[in-house]
Amino acid sequence: MSAEKPLLLEARKLTKTFPAERSMFGFGPKVEPAPVLHGVSLAMDHGEVTGLIGESGSGKTTFGKCLLRIVEPDGGSVSLNGEDWLSVPADQLQKARSKYQMIYQNPYACLNPGLTVRTHLRETLSVFHGIRGVEADERIESELARFGMVAKASSYPGELSGGEKRRISVARTLLTSPSLVVADEPTSGLDASVKADVLDRMLDVRDAATAYLFISHDLDVVRFVSDRILVMYRGRIVEVMEKDSIDPALAHHPYTERLFEAARADIPTEEESRVMAEVQEASLDLSRGCPYRGLCQVWHARGRPDDACAQELPNLVRMGSDQQVACHVLSEGAGQQPGASEDCFNIESPPSGS
């Protein structure tokens, strides 16, 4: 990490609970408050790529949006380039956010159906960099060529396929020359060759000091692009793997093992996992202890209902120089004592380009 400048991102103990609500017209049962993030922390340096994985509903997207204040966190702190991001007045956020961008999971939400592709990109260059005219058109032509989309410059969003919309949304984001991109499933719906082109373009920009928080269900893609991977389960980080530990053959948190094995036919789908979790929650007190133990085959096999897994929330414990796991069973096996907090991994961000 550079001694001359602060970390690009330091987020500490972010929390978020969505409030209780009823339907639009006030009828129907009241939805209970939904805690989504439970004190999640992260630090990233310039040019770094951090992968964030977990099943649907684990809080990945909410965390990314809280980092950029697209969704306001309830608690915690966020520093971007040494600036207290949460203290920036709301009316100054749009200008300040020009260096910090998000690629949304739904590309349809990012495009105005009444504007052509070229007009979208012209508007981006004008608003963020004041670039117009011939210079803007030259940059647009070059960017579209990188994504194989030159022939679509005059097309409207309704004339594009889902994959083409996604490529345009990525190209539009990269035109802003951002310092940090929160990329939420940026290659979802793309075929293999196009996916490779998009990733190559994103990593080309990374070499010029653009950092990514790469949110994805595609573990193979995340392993390919990331300096490290964070595994999130129900709003908590349960494992941190630096690049050399992203290996299914090594010991991992039971939930991480489940993600590595997800392609196997005998592994339950996300929907089956949700049903199983609901059944377990009905029979277990998950207000304390490890929140994953209801689905943890390791814990059930141990037959120790009153052990630390049932009594104490596990913190991240260092298992080596490049891995941390929030698991009582693994920490006991390694002869480690429970860690003090999730923050232990955050100050040791790997060097850019590692």
Give CA–CA dist 189/202, Å, rounded.
Answer: 17
Tokens of 173: 């984001």
Give CA–CA dist 213/202, Å, rounded.
Answer: 12
Longest Cα separation, the chain: 71
Element (H, E) at 297: helix 297-302
Location of each CATH 3.40.50.300 domain in the chain: 9-226
**Domain boundaries 9-226, corresponding CATH code:** 3.40.50.300
> For 186-226, how does the pLDDT look when each residue is reduced to its tens digit (9 = 90+)?
888 788 878 888 888 888 877 667 899 999 887 778 888 89
Q: Which of 342, 339, 234, 235 minimizes the C-alpha distance to 11? A: 342
Give CA–CA dist 1/271, Å, rounded.
Answer: 41
Beta strands in the chain (DSSP E): 9-18, 34-44, 49-53, 75-80, 83-84, 100-103, 180-184, 211-215, 228-233, 236-242, 317-320, 323-325
Residues of the chain with pLDDT under 70: 1-4, 21-31, 207-208, 263-286, 333-354
> For 73-129, how does the pLDDT look when each residue is reduced to its tens digit (9 = 90+)?
999 999 999 999 999 998 888 888 889 999 998 888 788 999 999 999 999 999 888
